[in-house]
Amino acid sequence: MVFYEDQRLEAIRRQIKTNPIIEKGWLLLEAESAGFGSADVQEVARTQKDMQNRVRQFGGNKRFTLGNYIREQAKRAHHLAFLYRMNGGTELARGIKELILLIGKEEAWLYQTGSGRASDLWTADIGLHLSLAYDCIRDTLTHEEKRTIEEQLYTKAFLPLYTDWLDPTRKIHALDTMGHNWWIVCVSGAGMVLLTLGDQTEGYAAYLHTITEGLKEWFAYPGNVLQNKKANFGPNGDYIETMSYLDYALGSFMVFEDLYRRTTGETSLFIQPLLSCIPDAYLETVFHLDGKLHSFTFGDSGARNGNGHVWLRLAEECGRGDMLAFFLANLDFPAGPLELFYYPEHMEPKFSEHRPGVSILTHSGYGMIRDGKATEDGGTLLAVKTGESWNHNHLDAGSFVLVSGGREWIMDSGYCVYSKPLYNAYYRQSVAHNVVLLDGEGQPPDMIEFGTKFEGWLPAYLEAPDYRYLLADCTGPYMNLFHRFYRHFLLLDGYLIMVDDLFANREGSFQWLLHYKGMAELDGETLHISPDGTPSSESDKLSVRHLYPETKQYIREKGYSTAAHRGTGLEDIFPEAEYMKVCAEGENRRIKFMTLFTLPQAPAVTVEKQADDQFQTIRLIYPEGRVLMVLCNLHADGRVMHDNAHGSFAGIETDAFLSTALYSPEGELERITLHNGSYWKSGGNCRFSSLLKTDAYIDYRDGLAIQTSLTGDAWCYFDCRNEGESALSANGFLKDPMSGLWKRQMKQGQSYVRLESPQNHTPNPAEEVGHVLD
């Protein structure tokens, strides 16, 4: 069976005539073949020989350089062969044949030696591209030419790949070793070569069975305790490595799976429901700005322009117009044979907006808070990364980015080409991220090699129409430094409030890091960030005020932002980017950073702060007279496990670590929230009580709205005196005659109850809310 089959090529020809996007991609691809012939192959031969001599003379990275060049030439042969299938041309076919034979003269398609391997990613990629190229021109070759090329594919691609990664008696790797993406790329490459060689290959059926069953095991890989390895995927499709590496991991697989399906009629390799969940994971990790789609730059974020056919296959197979829109927003047009081949002919791109609230990718450890407006239109997005630190995941547990008002303000430093000294010296280290250091130390540098025994995670969140809360537990990856490292994020009323709770293993100085885009001016304890250092309006800046601790020192440091990708010719340019280090001493190894981010176009407020020996508090006084009070209970940090952290401040009594109260201009209580607390009282009245410490939101405006986030089912008590008894009873509330409060059993997880004001009340049953990709 020919991979680029006639029926689908005819569909491409139709689309070239009717779809300008397809036409653009086609014309650019077609331009690659202009005048290609034997002279071009001779130039490749000269360059190849020169690189081989440099490998013999200098070794080291020169071998990688040679491997990258050979891989690009194999990809070139594939592109040219696709053009031949579309347009024909005897001279073009002859040039492709000569190029394939030239690449085959390499001693081995192995460019990353070590560990006794006979194959690597280069072997797989070269094998896949040359298989597709050979398949296109096979009918133009003599018997001897076919035999020669097939022998090269078999001995230099298939056998070393199969032997290293699958052969039960000779393999040297398990699913638990050599990264997550290596295995599937190598095995899919071997499978593609095997299908191209055909069923006349000795052992074909046995080989194919081992390959396909192995791929099923890869998708189901559960992780390994001794190796500190996590499962490849969470049940909802988020991948343990970065999303660009998911692109790469699936790139060869999608091609192999398609040809395997057409060859055998078997569809079981398109693993359901996992692969159908992946689009949602992709779409959670992007945002719109300046008419473009941007990906989070946590870890080795990589270029997103090499495997767009993965997104197109997901769009086609899963019926997802939003994945087609994702493709177009990232890549504009199909830029290669596979993207043209898989572009859906009868599908409209449709990009749905991100839902407001909190989203969590539990397996990869990403948490996102969105305020409901599109980032392109001035909305706010906060994203935090916890999870593991290993290989492509940097030493960045707890790092966050912030987009608001049409700009990305707080950034992640990203990455550079792996062979550059700054990759390990800076980009992968904790100092390159928005985290907290102790005496300049972050996560152990060798964790990037041996993995993360205790991961960070996102254990709690709460969302309501005007309030979002997310807790990031970053302690595990900093086990060398901290007993506690918790980051609390509150997005409400035009502001982001961030509370960091840290308890160090030893005495030392804490350094709170902030990497930002643009320039920053320091005014007292407030950092004003703007694109060029001179904001023209409040909407053109982000202000960051470090309210606590009281005593601190600001140090401006030099860092870097993401460098150019490989192949741009700019890999040795590392854009400089400054960042701020806020240094402070703790008390008895503990510290609570409280930071207020004033978002662009936020209402102007007066900020007051007041503290005693148990509470750090801030008050935001709005122009119309509303007051938001935020309390951090310093004693609710686990310092005495068997003692509850009861405390009172300004007429409020609570055991919650973090709580807020919103008052009307007349001083009426409008809304309360508490996080990790079991009660909240004010003015002698109990407003909330439960036997579990929980997260709760209670809004008294226009009736009663209640949101809880519980670790188990629990009876919760509420002050509902202004609500009608019939409405409360209809919504599952019971009157407690002893306390005068109303109680209701709230369910584990997120529960929401909304009672409208009595004059226009319509009973609403409790409904589950939240958006966790677990």
Question: Which residues are bridge partners to 512 per DSSP?
Answer: 436, 582
Average pLDDT of span 444-455 = 93
- The phi and psi torsions of 610 (rounded to 5 degrees) equal -150, 140
Percent over 90 (pLDDT), the chain:
84
Q: Whole-angstrom Cα distance, residue 328 to residue 349? A: 8
Contact 607, 545 (CB under 8 A): yes
Average pLDDT of span 475-504 = 96
Contact 325, 282 (CB under 8 A): no
Q: What is the pLDDT of residues 606-643, one digit of tens each?
A: 999 999 999 999 999 999 999 999 999 999 999 887 88
Provide the total of helices (H) and of strands (E) in the chain, helices listed first.
Answer: 18, 35
Per-residue confidence (pLDDT) for residue 757, from 0 to 100: 67
Average pLDDT of span 107-119 = 89
In degrees, rounded to 5, the angle at the alpha carbon of residue 573 between the alpha carbons of residues 570 and 578 is 145
Q: What's the distance, CA 249 to chain centroid? A: 15
Complete domains list, the chain, with CATH: 357-600 (2.70.98.70)
Q: What is the pLDDT of residues 642-697, one digit of tens each?
A: 888 999 999 999 999 999 999 999 999 999 999 999 999 998 899 999 999 999 99
Q: Is the pLDDT of residue 365 over 70?
A: yes
Per-residue confidence (pLDDT) for residue 759, from 0 to 100: 52
Per-residue confidence (pLDDT) for residue 766, from 0 to 100: 38
Q: Whole-angstrom Cα distance, residue 84 to residue 139? A: 12
Q: 524: which 2 tokens?
A: 């007292």
Average pLDDT of span 510-529 = 95
Per-residue confidence (pLDDT) for residue 534, from 0 to 100: 60
Contacts of 202 (CB under 8 A, 6+ apart): none
Q: 173: which 2 tokens?
A: 């790797």
Average pLDDT of span 465-486 = 97
Closest CA to 659 of 705, 697, 604, 621: 697
Q: Is the pLDDT of residue 722 over 70?
A: yes
Q: What is the pLDDT of residues 687-721, one digit of tens each?
A: 999 999 999 999 999 889 999 999 999 999 999 87
Q: Is the pLDDT of residue 114 over 80?
A: no
Q: Is the pLDDT of residue 536 over 70?
A: no
Average pLDDT of span 450-474 = 95
Q: What is the pLDDT of residues 209-250, one digit of tens each?
A: 999 999 999 999 999 999 999 999 998 899 999 999 999 999
Q: Whole-angstrom Cα distance, residue 155 to residue 139? A: 22
Contact 315, 327 (CB under 8 A): yes
Closest CA to 705 of 649, 766, 642, 747: 766
Q: What is the pLDDT of residues 261-314, one digit of tens each?
A: 999 999 999 999 999 999 999 999 999 998 888 999 999 988 888 899 999 999
CB atoms within 10 A of CB 441: 15
Mean pLDDT, rounded, of the chain: 93
Contact 67, 111 (CB under 8 A): yes
Q: Is the pLDDT of residue 348 over 50?
A: yes
Say which DSSP state 563 is in: P
Contact 521, 499 (CB under 8 A): no
Q: Whole-angstrom Cα distance, residue 520 to residue 556? A: 9
Q: 303: which 2 tokens?
A: 């270029």
Question: Which residues are bridge partners to 619 per DSSP?
Answer: 608, 629
Please give the biggest Cα pair distance in the chain: 95
Per-residue confidence (pLDDT) for residue 318, from 0 to 100: 96
- Rama region for 533: left / alpha / beta (φ>0; ψ in -120 to 50; rest): left
Per-residue confidence (pLDDT) for residue 771, from 0 to 100: 46
Per-residue confidence (pLDDT) for residue 634, from 0 to 100: 96
Consecutive H or E run containing 367? strand 366-370
Percent over 70 (pLDDT), the chain:
97
Closest CA to 344 of 334, 336, 335: 334
Asked whether the CA dihedral 721, 726, 730, 735 is positive or negative, the reply is positive
Contacts of 172 (CB under 8 A, 6+ apart): 115, 116, 117, 164
Band (pLDDT 50/70/90 cuts) for residue 729 is very high
Output the DSSP codes for 230-264: E-SB-TTS-BSS-HHHHHHHHHHHHHHHHHHHHHH
Residue reference for tokens 């994020």: 489
Per-residue confidence (pLDDT) for residue 47, from 0 to 100: 97
Question: Which whole-number Å values give the CA distances from 700 to 280, 658, 681, 740, 756, in the listed order?
Answer: 35, 20, 15, 17, 10
Contact 110, 118 (CB under 8 A): yes
Q: What is the pLDDT of residues 38-86, one digit of tens each?
A: 999 999 999 999 999 999 999 888 999 999 999 999 999 999 999 999 9
Average pLDDT of span 551-571 = 90
In degrees, rounded to 5, the angle at the alpha carbon of residue 307 between the alpha carbons of residues 305 and 309 is 115
Per-residue confidence (pLDDT) for residue 539, from 0 to 100: 66
Query: In one letter, which amino acid is 3?
Result: F
Q: Whole-angstrom Cα distance, residue 369 to residue 358? A: 5
Consecutive H or E run containing 55? helix 38-58
Query: In one letter, which amino acid is 479?
Result: M
Asked whether the CA dihedral 716, 720, 721, 725 is positive or negative, the reply is negative
Average pLDDT of span 493-511 = 96
